[in-house]
Structure 1
Amino acid sequence: MTGSTTGALLVLEDGRVFRGESYGATGETFGEAVFSTGMTGYQETLTDPSYHRQVVVMTAPHIGNTGVNDDDRESKRIWVAGYVVRDPARVPSNWQSVRSLDEELTEQGVVGISGIDTRALTRHLRERGAMRVGISSTETDPDALLQRVLAAGEMKGAELSDEVSTREAYVVPAVGEKRFTVAALDLGIKANTPRMMSERGIEVHVLPATSSLEEVNAVSPDGLFFSNGPGDPAATTGQVELLKGALAQGLPYFGICFGNQLFGRALGFGTYKLKYGHRGINQPVMDRTTNKVEVTAHNHGFAVDAPLEGSTRTEFGDATVSHVCLNDDVVEGLELRDDAGTLKSFSVQYHPEAAAGPHDAAYLFDRFVDLMESSVSRRSQSDLLNQRTEEEA
């Protein structure tokens, strides 16, 4: 390992202490301790804005083997508040690698710790739940660090999407012939999401998290998309009101992760904090519309509280649970249909953009295309009918 071998201290808010070695930047950091079960894709995890204010514990023992490159980033910076690994690679080995993970963490000021029993820490978080944590390579007194951990902010009640969102709108052009225009609200969007839409002929207008319905309508979208992102959905109100307005005017909607939770709240469902959340690229989910099981990428600590069976009547139509996690029956997707049973909007709790992996859920972008295609066709038929009525009158 190329970094410092200075001692480091990790203290959880319940007083549990782990001692190891400094990894990455020297200093002190605080956040919510969560664990990720992915065995690879650590660069995508680190640069996922959904991990803002979280200290990520990697359950895979060997991290950093493939180094860091400039192609696999999902945003312009590392967002995790801290990083916990057991055995960091001493020397990276990959044809794409341009620097070591340790060097990248140090350069971006991310404080981490290595050489601890991550299995014991993960089991502790599974039993006690996600909690606040502090990592320090400057403090040697656990009690002193614990006091600062207890003074740190909690994830519950935190509205964070504006902290990770773009400040200025930008456009990702369609690849080849343009078929549709989508307004994508950046709540912590990953780079591969608009890329996968553009590959399907969609011109993506990425808008700041604070955008209004008027600003959404200004791009004349065929569909509305809400991205993944950090924070407590119950603390987010502006985006929920925007979504309600969009649903009321019949705009097709697709949401992922945080976008699923906000969709649930717009439909009248509650949300709640999971004990330790779902994080990693190996989570099994069933698509109940096809009965197919897909392995999916997750990063969420909150979930939608909706009935798994039957439909719920909302002001916008009938809502049903479309996807379920096979590990614990957590809601992983929602659908909204009109009285004729036509799909109007949908969302999933996981990350279908395959960054990092797997590719099982890429079909959801095709489903969004089909949804917009049907909507445009219905509007065209309606306009034609209105035109004929006016002519006959």
Structure 2
Amino acid sequence: MKSTFYTEDHEAFRESVREFLRREVEPHYETWEAEHLIPREVWLRAGTHGMIGLAVPEEFGGGGEADYRYRFIFAEEVARTAVTSFGVGIGLQEDILIPYMLDLANDEQKKRWLPGMADGRIIGAIAMTEPGTGSDLQGIRTAAVRDGDEWVLNGAKTFITSGIHADLVIVVAKTDPEAGSRGFSLFVVETGDPGFSRGRKLEKIGLSSQDTAELFFTDVRLGEDRLLGKLGGGMRYLMERLPRERLSIAVAGVAASEAALRWTLEYVHDRTAFGQKIGDFQNTRFVLAEIETETDVTRAYVEKAVLALNDGELTAVEASKAKWWASELQVRATSRCLQLFGGFGYMLEYPIARAFRDSRIQTIYGGTTEIMKEIIGREQAARYATK
């Protein structure tokens, strides 16, 4: 079936992404993985070549293009070249940080931060997770207490993507212990703010060159100009924007599954064993037929969800379905494909090995598979609560 999902403009963008990755990322990626850090300079080059700031209005130096299909293409090209650590950092900026700024920042805050975020000078992070709090955001203990015209922020966050490089961090903090879900607010902390410090650069199973860190806030004093959105709106803001984040993970899952399938098909129809191509064994054909079918069906749902996001109609339940299914498919597909590579699949010089290693986090961050099923199940129960 011929896809009508992309237009000629989308495919032209694909060529730009492919050329950028070929010149600026692929030749250096193994070094970055070994050093466990991607240099800041590549962010500047990404900004120069229009790889970030796509949805930022032109008045703030961005591309002025909110169509999420362009982000889908970027994810496909990142998966094709197995440079996932780079893609995750850019994805955080594009799919989480910039949307928060576009939706919640006032005019002065937009002028202050958006141009730098669009051209790569400012790298952002969002600090939700705490050492004792994962998916249960209501358990956040980081707190901001008003002191005259300022807020005093104290607490610790962990597993923070781009935490080492971040120039600004959106921090979720409790501002009213008695207000329940309305007692949380968002603050912007900048590098150089007294009392803000970074802990360890965390070592992970995968995504080796993507920096993940612990962050600490000790009596960080913030003016009202650092409050993002309205006081007490933090939890609502998080819930409203989680569907986009979860869809971005689903998009990456589909792209990674398709890339793994492509590499494996090429491998099994080139390599021989017991006098015939590996791809001619029935088990190989059945495995790859299953993966291709599952991936095609999943893509159809995720494409539908992307168009719903473009139209402002994507629901939390639809995003949860896309996220858990596509991420679980990614883990399953990369594992089964690696098996068909045999011992070569365990070697990091083969992209399938990196893809397998990097896939495991997908079912965890952005909300675990179990949390996604709970969201779906609650909505199902609500439909029948009054019957």
Alignment TM-score > 0.5, same fold? no
Larger strand share, 1 or 2: 1
TM-score of the aligned structures, taking structure 1 as reference length: 0.22
TM-score normalised according to structure 2 size: 0.23
User: Larger % of helix: which?
Assistant: 2
